Structures are given as C-alpha cells and as structure tokens.
C-alpha cells in the first residue's frame, strides 16, 4: 500500500463462516440457500463474459433475499463491486496485482474480502491486508485442481489459525464430511467444501449432515430449512 494512503481494515463478517460450500453456478447458490446454508462462495470459472455477469447477478440477488446470508464471489471483484455483492474472495496473486486505487475502492465499498493462504509467508501478507477473513489450505490433497503447495495438515492448520488472529479462518482443500470434526477441532471459524457437496450422491443429505454437525458444535450455522 502507498504510504500516502491510510490503512483501513475491510468490513468484518456479519456472522461466523460456518459450513461454506464453494459452487460453480448461481443455481447451486439458490438451492443451498433453500437448504439452510448461509455462507456460500460462487466460483464460476468457465462461463463467458455475458453468462458470468448473469451468474454473479443471480447469486448476489439470491443472497440479498435472505437476512444474514454471506454470498461471496470468487475472483471477479469488478463484477461483484458492480452488483453490490456482500463479499469477494481473491488469491494472493490477484490481490498483489491490484494497484492501490483499486484496493482502496474495494475497501471503501464495504465489501468483505477473503484471501487465500498456503504458506506462513502468504499468511503474513494476507494478515497485513486486514481482510475480513483468511482461507488456509489445502488441508488435505485435492484432485479438483493442481496445487503447487503441499497439504497443510491438521497440526499446522491449528497453528496457523492461531497466527491468523484476529481474522476468522476458513479451512479448505480435500475436506470430506468424515474429516469435518477433525478440521473443526483446529479452531477454525468455518470449513469450505467443494466436492463433498457438488459431487455427493445426495447433496441435500450431505448438506443436512454438515449443518447438523455445525449446529451441535455451535459453530455458527443458521437453522436449516429442511
């Protein structure tokens, strides 16, 4: 950040991250909201420009329709800003590439910012950005995309979650429903999942099981509408 610009933290989250599915289109966002999920990330990678704008607009609108919902847009921060999104999630490279005026536009907008971290160095850089939350991962090996980072594992996840304070942490990467209890024991604020929902034989049942676990442990999910 330029020395001439005052430091300002991004807006805080309005609720714990809790159970945090990452999904490829707005239809998933709408369905998950009906099932009681209250924090969702739209990670739309393959859409063309026109369809991408429609996806972001629909996801943002779905989130606005329900009080207390946190719908976060992955990567496409300009579209998110245009649509008045609740929040945006960026990778380290994307954040580092933003010039100061664009960073300040994001801060001033009131949008929440989540930043990905994979190493202690990235954790420190993300911490300095004063985001709304940090993502730590991959916790386990993942087959969804090639990762140049080794899995963090539970021991380091617990250590890094403490180092991330005061910012909330969401764990991500290779986390199945069976692995949820062990990940939650590491002191994270939320757990992001992809294939555990989108590739589940019965996504509704998978969501119900996950929400039930979070509710029993009082980790910040809203009541599910099942």
Domain residue extents for the chain: 18-216
Question: Using CA atoms, how far apart are residues 207 and 90, in angstroms rounded to an integer?
Answer: 25
**pLDDT of 50:** 80
| Strand 133-136 to 18-23 pairing | unpaired
Tokens 């954790």 found at: 123
Contact at 8 Å (CB) between 134 and 123?
yes
What residues contact residue 21 under an 8 Å CB cut-off, 6+ apart? 28, 32, 37, 40, 41, 192, 193, 194, 197, 198, 207
The torsion defined by the Cα of 75, 78, 82 and 87, in degrees rounded to 10, comes to: 40
For residues 41 and 143, give the distance between their C-alpha atoms in angstroms, rounded to a whole number: 19
Distance in angstroms (rounded) separating the CA atoms of residues 185 and 208: 20
Share of the chain above pLDDT 70, in %: 89
| 1, 103 contact by CB (below 8 A) | yes
State the average pLDDT over residues 3-32.
Answer: 87
CB of 170 closer than 8 Å to CB of 20: yes
Q: What is the pLDDT of residue 100?
A: 92
With a cut of 70, say whether residue 137 has pLDDT above it. yes
- pLDDT higher than 50, residue 126: yes
Cα 170 to Cα 161: distance, rounded to the nearest angstrom: 9
| Mean confidence (pLDDT) of the chain | 90
Q: What is the pLDDT of residue 4?
A: 42
Q: How many CB atoms lie within 10 A of CB 86?
A: 23
The per-residue pLDDT for 49 is 74
What was the pLDDT predicted at 15?
95
Residue 48 has pLDDT above 80, yes or no: no
Q: Indicate the CATH number for domain 18-216.
A: 3.20.20.70
Given a cut of 60, whether residue 71 has pLDDT beyond it is: yes
pLDDT score of 148 more than 90:
no
Mean pLDDT of 41-65: 90
């Amino acid at each position: 950040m330029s020395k001439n610009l005052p430091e300002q933290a991004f807006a805080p989250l309005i609720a714990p991250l809790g159970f945090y599915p990452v999904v490829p289109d707005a239809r998933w966002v709408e369905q998950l909201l009906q099932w009681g999920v209250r924090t969702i990330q739209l990670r739309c990678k393959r859409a063309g420009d026109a369809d991408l704008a429609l996806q972001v607009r629909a996801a943002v609108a779905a989130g606005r329709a329900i009080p207390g919902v946190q719908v976060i847009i992955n990567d496409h921060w300009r579209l998110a800003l245009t649509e008045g999104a609740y929040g945006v999630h960026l990778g380290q490279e994307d954040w580092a590439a933003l010039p100061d005026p664009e960073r300040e536009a994001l801060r001033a907008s009131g949008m929440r910012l989540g930043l990905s971290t994979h190493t202690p160095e990235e954790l420190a850089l993300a911490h300095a950005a004063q985001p709304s939350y940090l993502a730590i991962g991959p916790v386990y090996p993942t087959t969804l995309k090639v990762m140049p980072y080794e899995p963090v594992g539970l021991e380091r996840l617990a250590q890094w979650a403490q180092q991330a304070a005061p910012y909330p942490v969401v764990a991500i990467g290779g986390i199945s429903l069976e692995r949820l209890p062990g990940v939650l024991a590491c002191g994270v604020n939320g757990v992001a999942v992809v294939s555990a929902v989108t590739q589940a034989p019965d996504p509704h049942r998978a969501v119900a099981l996950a929400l039930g676990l979070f509710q029993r442990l009082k980790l910040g999910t809203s009541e599910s509408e099942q």
